[in-house]
């Protein structure tokens, strides 16, 4: 006998169907080590679920104009906008963790948006890539983003906008590479598409790299603009991939 995943989860956790759907949509539900992607997936009625708890965001910095937080993965950027009652300056994908900046007043937000528009913002990310990347690589491939059902889809296209990513390997374990990615443009899903384009997709990126994992291993590490500079160090999930991040020197990153 089979039943829809969200109904089985609701029964197991004694929660509402709506709550069960939301947990699955946020990528928090696993069965036999595999993430449940669709709430309406038909599953055996005897299926057991593992539910990951979403961590709380941690405030990195706050003044009367700017709020910088360390966003957990599986957390939606817009939810944090509502929680902190401040407007997002930029967004991170649900599965991406790290530095997220919100603005408390419209004047500073307009000023910051202009910095982004003129590409005067420094942004670096840390990612776990599939395969061995032996040396730094610069990817200068235009990206075209299309609206599709359920979100957006980006691809490399001559009809797209300029997109530049610089990828530097930091550590290699087995057939996985911990890498720093500096983006000089901020296109939708830029890092995910560029890394997949060079056949070194991000571990856990099911959309572009087609690689399943407990999370997507992409982390917004540092952002600098105007007189502000923020960093958010990696969490323990990167250590679970085998990387000794505590011993890694991030000073030069």
How far is residue 197's CA from residue 141's CA, in Å, rounded to a whole number? 9
Q: How far apart are the first and last CA of the chain?
A: 53
pLDDT in tens, 179-191: 999 998 889 999 9
Collapsing DSSP to helix, strand or coil, 127 comes out as: strand
How far is residue 126's CA from residue 186's CA, in Å, rounded to a whole number? 15
Residues 109, 103 contacting (CB under 8 angstroms): yes
Residues 96, 90 contacting (CB under 8 angstroms): no
Question: Given the DSSP bridges, would you call strands 218-225 and 50-51 parallel, antiparallel or unpaired?
Answer: unpaired
Question: Given the DSSP bridges, would you call strands 97-103 and 218-225 parallel, antiparallel or unpaired?
Answer: parallel
pLDDT in tens, 214-251: 899 999 999 999 999 999 988 888 888 887 766 555 55
pTM of the model: 0.85
Q: What is the pLDDT of residue 133?
A: 96
Q: Give the residue carrying structure tokens 């997220």.
A: 100
pLDDT in tens, 98-113: 999 999 999 999 999 9
* Residue 126: strand pairing partners: 180, 219
- The DSSP 8-state label assigned to residue 245 in this structure reads G
Q: What is the pLDDT of residue 214?
A: 85
How far is residue 105's CA from residue 107's CA, in Å, rounded to a whole number? 6
User: Of residues 93, 130, 205, 235, which has the active-site annotation?
Assistant: 93
Q: What is the pLDDT of residue 26?
A: 78
Tens of pLDDT along the chain (253 residues)?
Answer: 888 888 888 888 889 998 888 888 877 788 887 888 888 889 888 888 888 777 889 999 999 999 999 999 988 899 999 999 999 999 999 899 999 999 999 999 999 999 998 989 999 999 999 999 999 999 999 999 998 877 899 999 999 999 999 999 999 998 999 999 999 888 999 999 999 999 999 999 999 999 988 899 999 999 999 999 999 988 888 888 887 766 555 555 5
Alpha helical stretches, state H, the chain:
5-13, 17-25, 77-84, 106-117, 190-197, 236-239
Listed in sequence order, the residues at least 6 apart from 159 whose beta carbon sits closer than 8 Å to its beta carbon are: 142, 144
Specify whether 93 is catalytic: yes
């Amino acid at each position: 006998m089979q039943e829809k995943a969200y109904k089985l989860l609701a029964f197991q956790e004694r929660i509402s169907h709506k709550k069960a759907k939301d947990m699955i949509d946020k990528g928090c539900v696993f069965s036999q080590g595999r993430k449940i992607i669709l709430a309406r997936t038909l599953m055996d009625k005897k299926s057991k679920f593992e539910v990951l708890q979403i961590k709380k965001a941690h405030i990195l910095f706050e003044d009367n104009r700017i709020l910088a937080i360390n966003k957990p993965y599986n957390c939606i950027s817009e939810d944090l906008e509502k929680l902190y009652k401040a407007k997002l300056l930029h967004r991170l994908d649900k599965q991406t963790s790290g530095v997220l900046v919100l603005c408390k007043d419209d004047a500073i937000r307009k000023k910051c948006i202009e910095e982004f528009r003129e590409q005067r913002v420094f942004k670096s990310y840390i990612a776990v890539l599939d395969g061995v990347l032996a040396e730094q690589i610069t990817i200068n491939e235009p990206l075209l983003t299309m609206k599709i059902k359920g979100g957006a889809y980006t691809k490399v296209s001559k009809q797209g906008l300029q997109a530049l990513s610089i990828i530097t390997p930091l550590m290699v374990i087995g057939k996985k590479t911990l890498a720093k990615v500096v983006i000089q443009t901020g296109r939708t899903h830029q890092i995910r598409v560029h890394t997949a384009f060079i056949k070194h997709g991000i571990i856990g990126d099911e959309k572009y790299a087609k690689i399943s994992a407990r999370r997507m291993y992409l982390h917004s590490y540092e952002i600098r603009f105007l007189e502000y500079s923020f960093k958010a160090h990696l969490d323990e999930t990167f250590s679970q991939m085998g990387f000794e991040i505590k011993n890694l020197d991030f000073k030069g990153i």
